[in-house]
C-alpha cells in the first residue's frame, strides 16, 4: 500500500448522503483520490468455480450503476455486485436515505429505538440506510449492466442482485424473481444474488428469508429459469438458529452459495425523539455496529456446511470495516467477503487488505 494513500474516512465519501439517490447515481461516484496502478496477482483464488484475483468484493448497495462498478474495480475490489434490480421501475425513498449512529455496543434486531443524525461520525462508521430498493426499468439497466461487465479486468466478477416485485402470490413472486434473474444473466452477469432479505421494504419481499417455504419456492423457480449459472442467496440475521438451518436446507438444492447478512432492522429516531426517516418507523442498520451479528451468522453457516456435508460458498457480509474484520470472516471459513458501508468511506480497503498478507487457507 503506497504510504501516500489517504487513510480510512479521510476523503469525502463516494456516496453523498445529503444528495438524492438519483443525483448520486447520475453524478457519482464522488471520488477524487489517486487510483494506484494495480499489479494483477499471478495466483488466483477460486470462487464458485471462477478464478478471481482476490476473495474481496462489494455487496449489493453502493454500486449504483456501471460508473460505480468501473471505479471500484480499478480500486481492487474483485467481486462487484450491481445494486438490486427489478423487472420494473421503482422510485427511491426521498431523503434522508442515510443517517449516522453511534450505538454503545453491537446491534442486533429488536424493538428499542436507536438514535441517528445526519452528522457524519468518525470511521469506522455505523449507519442506517433506507432506499426502498429503487430500480431502473430493465430497458435501462440491461445495457448498463453490459457496460459494467465490459469495464472489468481479468480475474474480476460481476454479480447482479435481483429481487421480485410481484407480491400478488408466492408463485407470482417466484416467477418475477426468475424473470429478473434471466435478464441479469442475459445482460452479462457472471453470477446473481437473490435478495431475499432487504428489511426496508414492506410486503412479501421483505420476509422471504424468514420463511423456508417462500425461500424454497423462489430459489427453485430461479434455478429452473437459469440452468447451471451461479446463484447466491442473500440472507439476513436470524434470531432463532433453527430457522437458519431450516431455510438453508430449503434453498440448498437450488443455489450455489449464501451471502449473509443484510442490514439489521431496528426502529430509528432522531435526537429529538421523532421518527428519523419520515414514513419509515424501522430501517436497516449496517457498518461497524453489525460486525458481531454478521460474523456469528457466517460461523453458523460454516458449521452447518460441515454438519450437512454440503458444498456451497459462504460470503461474509456485514460490519467489515478493516482488514482484520475481513480476515476474521475468511478464517472462520467464508469463501469471500463483501462490504457495503466501508467502501463508501474507505475506497482503498481492498488495497489495504492485499497488504495484510495471504488469504487464510480455505476448506
Ligand X SMILES: Cc1cc2nc3c(=O)[nH]c(=O)nc-3n(C[C@H](O)[C@H](O)[C@H](O)COP(=O)(O)O)c2cc1C
Q: For binding to ligand X (CB under 6 A), which residues are involved?
A: 59-62, 83-84, 129, 131, 133, 161, 195, 198, 234, 262-263, 286-287, 290, 317-320, 339-342
4 forms beta bridges with none
CB of 3 to ligand X, least distance (A): 26
Q: How far apart are CA 163 and CA 172, in angstroms?
A: 12
Q: Which of 198, 205, 286, 302 is catalytic?
A: 198
**Residue in 288, 295, 302 with CA at minimum distance from that of residue 346:** 288
174 forms beta bridges with none
Q: Which is nearer to ligand X, 3 or 345 (CB)?
A: 345
Helix/strand/coil percentages in the chain, nearest 5 = 35, 20, 45
CB of 42 to ligand X, least distance (A): 29
CB of 111 to ligand X, least distance (A): 21
**Close Cβ partners of 95 (under 8 Å, ≥ 6 residues apart):** 18, 19, 20
Q: What is the largest CA-CA distance in the chain?
A: 55
269 forms beta bridges with 115, 275
Q: Which is nearer to ligand X, 83 or 354 (CB)?
A: 83
157 forms beta bridges with 79
The verdict on whether 198 is a catalytic residue reads yes
CB of 321 to ligand X, least distance (A): 8
Q: Which is nearer to ligand X, 17 or 44 (CB)?
A: 17
Task: Write out the three cell numbers for 251.
Answer: 434453498
Q: Which is nearer to ligand X, 48 or 290 (CB)?
A: 290
Q: How far apart are CA 7 and CA 178, in angstroms?
A: 42
Classify each residue of 84-98 as buried b or exposed e, where b means 16 or more C-beta atoms within 10 Å of its C-beta: bbbbeebebbeebbb
CB of 43 to ligand X, least distance (A): 26
Helix (H) or strand (E) holding 235: strand 230-235
Q: Which is nearer to ligand X, 40 or 145 (CB)?
A: 145
Q: Which residues are catalytic?
A: 198
Amino acid at each position: 500500500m503506497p504510504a501516500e494513500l489517504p487513510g480510512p474516512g479521510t476523503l469525502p465519501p463516494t456516496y453523498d448522503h445529503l444528495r438524492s439517490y438519483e443525483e448520486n447515481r447520475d453524478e457519482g461516484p464522488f471520488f477524487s483520490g489517486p487510483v494506484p496502478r494495480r499489479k494483477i496477482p499471478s495466483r488466483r483464488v477460486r470462487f464458485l468455480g471462477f478464478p478471481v484475483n482476490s476473495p474481496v468484493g462489494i455487496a449489493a448497495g453502493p454500486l449504483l450503476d456501471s460508473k460505480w462498478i468501473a471505479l471500484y474495480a480499478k480500486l481492487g475490489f474483485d467481486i462487484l455486485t450491481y445494486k438490486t434490480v427489478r423487472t420494473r421501475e421503482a422510485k427511491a425513498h426521498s431523503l434522508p436515505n442515510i443517517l449516522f449512529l453511534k450505538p454503545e455496543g453491537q446491534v442486533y434486531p429488536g424493538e428499542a429505538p436507536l438514535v441517528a443524525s445526519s452528522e457524519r461520525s468518525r470511521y469506522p462508521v455505523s449507519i442506517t440506510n433506507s432506499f426502498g430498493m429503487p430500480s431502473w426499468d430493465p430497458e435501462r439497466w440491461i445495457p448498463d449492466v453490459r457496460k459494467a461487465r465490459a469495464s472489468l479486468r481479468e480475474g474480476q466478477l460481476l454479480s447482479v442482485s435481483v429481487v421480485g416485485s410481484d407480491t400478488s402470490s408466492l408463485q407470482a413472486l417466484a416467477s418475477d424473481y426468475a424473470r429478473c434473474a434471466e435478464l441479469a444473466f442475459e445482460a452479462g452477469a457472471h453470477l446473481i444474488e437473490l435478495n431475499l432479505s432487504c428489511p426496508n421494504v414492506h410486503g412479501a419481499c421483505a420476509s422471504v428469508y424468514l420463511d423456508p417455504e417462500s425461500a424454497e419456492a423462489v430459489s427453485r423457480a430461479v434455478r429452473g429459469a437459469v440452468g447451471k449459472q451461479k446463484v447466491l442467496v442473500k440472507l439476513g440475521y436470524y434470531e432463532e438458529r433453527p430457522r437458519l438451518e431450516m431455510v438453508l436446507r430449503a434453498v440448498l438444492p437450488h443455489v450455489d452459495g449464501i451471502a449473509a447478512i443484510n442490514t439489521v432492522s431496528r426502529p430509528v429516531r432522531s435526537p429529538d425523539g421523532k421518527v428519523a426517516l419520515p414514513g419509515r418507523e424501522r430501517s436497516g442498520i449496517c457498518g461497524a455496529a453489525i460486525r458481531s451479528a454478521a460474523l456469528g451468522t457466517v460461523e453458523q453457516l460454516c458449521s452447518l456446511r460441515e454438519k450437512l456435508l454440503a458444498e456451497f460458498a459462504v460470503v461474509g457480509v456485514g460490519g467489515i470495516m478493516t482488514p482484520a474484520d475481513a480476515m476474521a470472516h475468511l478464517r472462520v471459513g467464508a469463501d469471500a467477503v463483501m462490504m457495503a458501508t466501508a467502501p463508501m468511506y474507505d475506497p482503498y480497503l481492498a488495497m489495504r487488505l492485499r497488504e495484510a498478507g495471504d488469504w487464510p487457507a480455505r476448506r
